Chains A and B, each alone.
Chain A
Amino acid sequence: DIQMTQSPSTLSASVGDRVIITCRASQSISTWLAWYQKKPGIAPKLLIYKASTLESGVPSRFSGSGSGTEFTLTISSLQPDDFATYYCQQYNSYCTFGQGTKLEIK
C-alpha cells in the first residue's frame, strides 16, 4: 500500500501568517492528490484536487503544488476560519490518507 506522510503533525500560527503543510508519498502518485479540511463534527471539505486544482468556492489563499512523491498545501494569509485539521489523500491506487496536520492558533 502507498503510505502518505504529512508534516508537521501540529502547527501553531497566527492570523495573517503564511503556512505550508507537506505530504510525502511512499511511491509516485503523479498528481492524484487531494487536500481536505476537517473540523470536529463536520464532514471533510475538499480544498484542492489533482495536487494543484482549487475546488470551486474555496478561497484563493489556499494553493497546492507538487507531483510524484512530494506535495505541499499553502495558506497564504491565515484567517480565523482556517484553524482546523488538514489531510492529504492519494487516490492513485487504493486511497490512503496522511495522518493529518492540526493547525492551531498561536
Chain B
Amino acid sequence: QMQLVQSGPEVKKPGTSVKVSCKASGFNFTMSAVQWVRQARGQHLEWIGWIAVGSDVTNYARKFQERVTITRDMSTGTAYMELSSLRSEDTAIYYCAAAKSWPDVFDIWGEGTMVTVSS
C-alpha cells in the first residue's frame, strides 16, 4: 500500500524552527518527488516547495525561500520540511505529497501535521 506517514503535531514559540517528517512506503522513493503544502484555518492551500528525491534538486515558493529547507534521507525513505523564524501566521496544517514518478502529479498525500506557533 502506497502511503506517506507524517510526524505528530507541534507547538512552537515565535522565532524558533519546526521540522516535519514524511515517511514513504509502498513505492520507489528514489524515483519520486515530494512537495509540501500548508493550509491555515479558513485559508486556501499554499504551496511551499518540492524536492526531487533522486537528484536532491529543490524548488521553493518565493514567499518561503528564505525560511524553508526541504531535505530527504534515502536510507529511511523520509522527506523533511524545516521552517525557521516562525510567526503566528505559520500556524497551519502542513501536508506532504508525493509524485511517484517525477516529473508527474502529486498523487499520494500524507495525513497532515498541525503546527501551532504561539507564545
> Bound pair: A and B?
yes
Contacts of B28 in A (CB 8 A): none
A82 to chain B, nearest CB (A): 18
Binding site for B on A (CB under 8 A): 1, 34, 36, 38, 43-46, 49-50, 55, 87, 89, 91, 94-100
Judge whether B107 is part of the interface by a CB distance below 8 angstroms. yes
Extra contacts besides A44-B37, A99-B44 (18): CB < 8 Å: A44-B95, A46-B105, A46-B106, A49-B105, A89-B47, A91-B103, A91-B104, A91-B105, A91-B106, A94-B59, A94-B61, A95-B106, A96-B47, A97-B37, A97-B46, A97-B47, A98-B44, A100-B45
**Majority secondary structure, A binding face:** loop
Number of residues of chain B lying within 8 A (CB) of chain A: 23
Contacts of A55 in B (CB 8 A): 107
B110 to chain A, nearest CB (A): 7
Q: Contact: B95 with A43, CB < 8 Å?
A: yes
